[in-house]
């Protein structure tokens, strides 16, 4: 059927559907549906006003109105049913698009400083919360963790080639992937949480069913406590996912303006699957300027410190 064969009501309805289906994809699903229905109602009202001033016979006018009010509810119902089926698909595609945009933002040369809290099963021997500061620049990361004994901090970091640990006291350790996993287990009795937001985003893309929720305003940790408008993506682990120890759910709040992951939450239903971890919260603090050697181990110790290089077998405890 060509458009010339459509009735006036059908033509108006088609215009409304096209206008709103090609609208701004960043608007919420609920808002787009509401706009669609408002458009249908508005066009219906215009038709009614136009029909009332037409010079028609009484019989012709009633016949026209009858056809219109039979057509419009039936067509509107069909549109709503179609939307109910399509909205989950649209939501998933928009969620994947938001995650992809955040992955692209990971290539930014800006340093991002995150506050990280790792919650573990409460025991009498150990604290249930482990806090540290995470700094990320493209493929490099640095962790600052306060020492449990005495003053000072431990510094950990790495890139695609090696991992390193600068403890508060003692020799600097340099090794492969498994180095940080063993260090965390020996000092904090937990597995290494994800130490790069890019790792989390890649997991979201490959091993989770995604849904886009309504946009959220979060209060930033900046001094001015400004509001950040974020896309909100909910990821549920796929039953077929074979990656060990990954969370059952990952929630992502991505800055609509920059694409940066502003807040990420990882949740495990069974702490045993992550050796005691129940959840991890990662939230952006700021984008500081740091020294040129900040992402190297020698940027965090003096030249007199002993350095030990040792191969460490890669294991599943690394991020």
Same domain, 138 and 57: no
Same domain, 294 and 181: yes
Tell whether 99 is covered by a domain.
Answer: no
Domain boundary among 39, 63, 93: 93
pLDDT greater than 60 at residue 247: yes
Tell whether 149 is covered by a domain.
Answer: yes
Q: What is the pLDDT of residues 216-237, one digit of tens each?
A: 999 888 877 889 999 999 999 9
Q: What is the mean pLDDT of residues 196-220?
A: 93
Tell whether 318 is covered by a domain.
Answer: no
Tell whether 317 is covered by a domain.
Answer: no
Same domain, 74 and 129: no
Higher pLDDT, 304 or 68: 304
Q: What is the pLDDT of residue 194?
A: 74
Q: What is the mean pLDDT of residues 142-147?
A: 92
Tell whether 165 is covered by a domain.
Answer: yes
Confidence of residue 243 (pLDDT cuts 50, 70, 90): confident
The model carries a pTM of 0.70
Domain boundary among 93, 122, 154: 93
Tell whether 54 is covered by a domain.
Answer: yes
pLDDT greater than 70 at residue 298: yes
Same domain, 206 and 288: yes
Tell whether 15 is covered by a domain.
Answer: yes
Q: What is the pLDDT of residue 79?
A: 56
The domain that contains 302 carries what CATH number?
A: 2.50.20.10
**Domain span at residue 53?**
3-93
Same domain, 46 and 168: no
Same domain, 199 and 253: yes
| Mean per-residue pLDDT over the chain, rounded | 77
DSSP the chain: --GGGS-HHHHHHHHHHHHHHTS-TTS-HHHHHHHHHHHHHHHHHHHHHHHHTS---HHHHHHHHHHHHHHHHHHHHHHHHHHHHHHHHHHHHHHHHHHHHHHHHTT-SS-EEEEEEEEE---SSS-SEEEEEEEEETTEEEEEEE-SSSSSEEEEEE-SS-EEEE-SSS-EEEESTHHHHHHHHHHHSSPPPP--HHHHHHHHHHHEEEEEEEEEEEE-SSTT--EEEEEEEEEEE-TT---TT--SEEEEEEETTT--EEEEEEE-S-GGGGTTEEEEEEEEEE-----TTTTSGGGGS-TTS-EEE------TT--
Q: What is the pLDDT of residues 17-63, one digit of tens each?
A: 445 444 454 445 445 545 555 554 455 445 444 445 444 444 555 45
Q: What is the pLDDT of residue 201?
A: 96
Same domain, 228 and 200: yes
Same domain, 175 and 297: yes
Q: What is the pLDDT of residue 240?
A: 87
* Structural domains in the chain (count): 2
Same domain, 223 and 279: yes
Same domain, 82 and 124: no
Confidence of residue 182 (pLDDT cuts 50, 70, 90): confident
Q: What is the mean pLDDT of residues 189-199?
A: 78
Q: What is the pLDDT of residue 301?
A: 94
Same domain, 157 and 75: no
Tell whether 168 is covered by a domain.
Answer: yes
Q: What is the pLDDT of residue 7?
A: 56
Same domain, 84 and 186: no
Confidence of residue 197 (pLDDT cuts 50, 70, 90): very high
């Amino acid at each position: 059927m060509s458009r010339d064969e459509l009735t006036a009501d059908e033509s108006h309805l088609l215009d409304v559907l096209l206008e709103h289906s090609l609208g701004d994809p960043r608007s919420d699903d609920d808002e787009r549906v509401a706009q669609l229905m408002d458009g249908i109602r508005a066009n219906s009202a215009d038709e009614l006003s136009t029909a009332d001033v037409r010079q028609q016979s009484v019989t012709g006018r009633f016949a026209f109105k009858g056809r219109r009010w039979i057509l419009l509810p039936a067509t509107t119902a069909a549109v709503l049913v179609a939307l109910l089926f399509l909205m989950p698909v649209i939501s998933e595609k928009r969620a994947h698009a938001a995650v992809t945009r955040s992955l692209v933002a990971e290539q930014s040369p800006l340093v991002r400083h995150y506050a990280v809290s790792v919650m573990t099963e409460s025991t009498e021997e150990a604290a249930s919360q482990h806090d540290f500061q995470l700094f990320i620049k493209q493929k490099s990361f640095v962790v600052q963790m306060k020492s449990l004994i005495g003053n000072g901090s431990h510094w950990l970091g790495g890139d695609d080639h090696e991992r390193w640990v600068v403890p508060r006291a003692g020799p600097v350790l340099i090794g492969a992937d498994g180095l940080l996993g063993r260090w965390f287990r020996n000092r904090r009795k937990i597995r290494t949480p994800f130490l790069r937001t890019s790792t989390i985003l890649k997991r979201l893309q490959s091993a989770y069913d995604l849904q886009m929720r309504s946009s959220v305003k979060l209060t930033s940790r900046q001094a001015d406590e400004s509001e950040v408008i974020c896309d909100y993506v909910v990821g549920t682990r796929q039953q077929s996912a074979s990656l060990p120890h990954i969370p059952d759910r990952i929630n992502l709040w991505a800055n609509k303006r920059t694409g940066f992951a502003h807040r990420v939450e990882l949740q495990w239903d069974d702490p045993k699957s992550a050796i005691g971890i129940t959840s991890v919260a990662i939230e952006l603090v700021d984008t500081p300027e740091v020294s040129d050697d900040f992402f190297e181990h020698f940027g965090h110790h003096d030249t007199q410190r002993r350095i030990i290089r040792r191969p460490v077998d890669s294991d599943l405890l690394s991020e």
